[in-house]
Structure 1
Amino acid sequence: MSNHTIAVYGASGFQGVLVLTELARRGLTAVLVGRDADKLKAAAARAGTPDAELRVAAVDDHSALVAAFQDVDAVINCAGPFTPTGDRVVAAAIAAGTHYVDTCGEQPFLRHVYETYPAAAESAGVTVVPAATDGGIPGDLLAHLLGDHLGPLAELTSVHRFGGETAMSRGSLRSMLGIAEAMTDGGVAYVDKAWRSGPFAPLAPVPLPGAPEPVALAPFPLQEPISVPRHLAVRTVRGAVEESTRALFATPLTDETIATLPVGPDAGQRGAGTWTIVLDAVAEDGRRARGVVSGPDTYGTTAWTAVAAAQRLARGTAPAGVLAPAQAFDPADFLSALAPFGVRWAIEDR
């Protein structure tokens, strides 16, 4: 297997170090990119790769970013919040002719990338796959498999659930702070073959795995309403979380408070956490099926997923452009590749 070289922007952050560790585990060469050489050096040491190459480039220095992304096979952008600055990293990767993925969970940025960069990416021969995370890739891939199973869909509802410890990194909290309005009004859903902004009507309670009673849901700005309609014949795609989860996110912490918190959950908290995506699909002919994909450690799974996506793009087999995960990767193959990390998935008729 080729020893691809992957640049990690925001390498000194909490998620960045996890990505660096996964690159090292796979025997891939990492190039650390960020604005502070000392922090990059410390991050390389924490990831067990003290001799890794460091390249200094501030997010507002386009020329430096382009130079930093030269001569690498792919870029993984871990520098959130993405909505204010992620544009610059995407543009620099395309200008450098380098494939791009990120660890973004911010729906407004995800939609912006899909709508803004297809022509530039195609012209540069670059593949861009945003939201290469535990939430962004497994749900999109499983949705495609549900479409294969049922045929054209009338409706798809995605519910993201979290179990165990709920500790979050500073970067995740700052991302939530930046999209507080979207979290309050439900963000964007795909309704009757058009993207529409909330607020949306409440969703009916539904039975969920492990829950003794139907669970109250709230509309939420997830990735599937943005990505899935780009590759699946479907009329409506909605995102939701449990109402209790939305309530936790309803009043984001201030940036001043976030700065006083630990940089991220410790190993014990990460190990105790779980994530589950439940996809309920209704076919145009009325048949129903449910897909469920789940795994441990949301930050660890995001690192595994982002690296796996970048490694596949580095092989140069995906088409150029801004692609949903199911357009860039074989869905069943990618999901199966996550099995060693505890990710499980299944589809059942209802």
Structure 2
Amino acid sequence: MKIAVYGASGYQGKLVLAEAVRRGLDLVLTGRDAARLRQAAATVGLSGPDIRLAAADDHQALLAAFREADAVVNCAGPFTPTGPAVVRAAIAAGVPYVDTAGEQPYVKAVFDTFGAQAEAAGVSVVPAANDACVPGDLIAALLAERLGPLEEITSIHVITGGGGPSRGSLRSVIESIDIIKAGGLVYDDGDWRVGLPARKTSITLPGGAEAIPVAKFPLTEVVTIPRHVQVRHVEGLAEAALSARLSVPLDPSIIADLPEGPTEQARESQRFTYVLDAVALDGRRARGVVAGPDTYGTTATIAVESARRLVTGPAKPGVLAPAQAYDPAAFLDFLLLHDVRWTIEEDTAGN
């Protein structure tokens, strides 16, 4: 199996390369800078790498690179300005596509723009194959399976440690600053809306003693969950301190002087807890929890596995939410091998 990694020389791209090499997959390294791509290959121990130069606006070069592969993993953020061109090229090449995007407006745009094209071409497209959206979306499917039609699902992210975001993540924040400041899209009564107040202002984590303040945040699973779960309301929340910090505009000129991303040691110290609280139409409640280490490393694992599954067990064509492309419990159980734990408990208080 051969995977084309677009943006292979970036911070997340190199982690995806390392995961693919660890799993014995063949690779096509794609991007704009040959020297950086060769350096990325050397970093992960690839000798004689298959390197294909292609800028995001060079459709023919992208086609040539992607036709040599069985699937595409796009790691080149910010995704809002360049991602659509990469999706378009993958569909034209007839190759399954995933990306590591966390930009909520971009993910919604992929569904809105490419659904019919991907379906007509017989290509499966799964945006936001990252540490949060995939497990969160899969957990939501299992919650709905237990409870039936839902009144609401609230997804909450709590992350500790990690040494700060990568340069690519910070550039994505700049690209998404308006939607971050607005608190993100909320799904409500059949459509996605901006400006609705949060239904929760705090959360108590499993085993926690004190409530943690939370605020609205543009999570990508808010875009994916309503596509396969019968639910009236879906919103995303994050720690209030994180939301406030990322709502402050960044000066793009300072990002280039920052470290490329957190060190391996910092990543090893990071822990994430993603909670999905669901309320059924009849008032019954359940809580799904996903917890693990290293958001960037987990994203690499999920992106590679997402692409691999699209090749070995093809999903239906079109732009798909994770739970539409993969068996939820099977994928979540795969993540147990990578220290990502998941649970579902019914009749919780949903604090």
| From 82, 89, 95, the counterpart of 2:86 | 89
Structure 2 unaligned regions, length at least 5: none
In structure 1, the residue matched to 2:265 is: 268
Shift of 1:144: 0.5
Shift of 1:140: 0.3
> Is 2:250 aligned against 1:240?
no
Provide the C-alpha distance between the structure 1 equivalents of 2:110 and 2:278, rounded to a whole number of angstroms: 26
| From 324, 329, 344, the counterpart of 1:327 | 324
Structure 1 unaligned regions, length at least 5: none
> Is 2:224 aligned against 1:227?
yes
Shift of 1:199: 5.5
Provide the C-alpha distance between the structure 2 equivalents of 1:170 and 1:50, rounded to a whole number of angstroms: 27
TM-score scaled by length of structure 2: 0.97
- Answer whether contact 1:8 1:77 (CA < 8 A) is retained: yes
Shift of 1:210: 4.7
Shift of 1:71: 2.8
What is the letter of the counterpart of residue 9 of structure 2? S
In structure 2, the residue matched to 1:309 is: 306
Shift of 1:120: 0.7
In structure 2, the residue matched to 1:338 is: 335
> Is 2:202 aligned against 1:198?
no
Shift of 1:67: 1.0
How much identity, in percent, do the aligned residues show? 55
Provide the C-alpha distance between the structure 2 equivalents of 1:153 and 1:200, rounded to a whole number of angstroms: 19
- Answer whether contact 1:185 1:199 (CA < 8 A) is retained: no
| From 158, 164, 188, the counterpart of 1:167 | 164
Range that drifts further, 50-59 or 288-297: 50-59
| From 111, 122, 126, the counterpart of 1:114 | 111
Provide the C-alpha distance between the structure 2 equivalents of 1:300 and 1:63, rounded to a whole number of angstroms: 31
In structure 1, the residue matched to 2:46 is: 49
> Is 2:135 aligned against 1:138?
yes
- Answer whether contact 1:160 1:275 (CA < 8 A) is retained: yes
In structure 2, the residue matched to 1:147 is: 144
- Answer whether contact 1:281 1:289 (CA < 8 A) is retained: yes
Which digits, 9 at most, give the CA deviation of each residue in 1:218-245, with x for residues without a partner? 1110012100000011111000001111
Q: Secondary structure at the match of 2:52?
A: strand
| From 29, 34, 42, the counterpart of 1:32 | 29
| From 283, 287, 290, the counterpart of 1:290 | 287
Provide the C-alpha distance between the structure 1 equivalents of 2:212 and 2:24, rounded to a whole number of angstroms: 43
Shift of 1:202: 6.5
Q: Secondary structure at the match of 2:201?
A: strand
Provide the C-alpha distance between the structure 1 equivalents of 2:313 and 2:92, rounded to a whole number of angstroms: 17
How many residues matched? Answer: 347
- Answer whether contact 2:132 2:274 (CA < 8 A) is retained: yes
Provide the C-alpha distance between the structure 1 equivalents of 2:53 and 2:332, rounded to a whole number of angstroms: 35
- Answer whether contact 1:202 1:219 (CA < 8 A) is retained: no
In structure 1, the residue matched to 2:123 is: 126
In structure 1, the residue matched to 2:246 is: 249
| From 89, 98, 102, the counterpart of 1:101 | 98
- Answer whether contact 1:8 1:33 (CA < 8 A) is retained: yes
Provide the C-alpha distance between the structure 2 equivalents of 1:339 and 1:201, rounded to a whole number of angstroms: 32
Which digits, 9 at most, give the CA deviation of each residue in 1:63-122, with x for residues without a partner? 111111113110000000001111110000001111100010000000000111011101
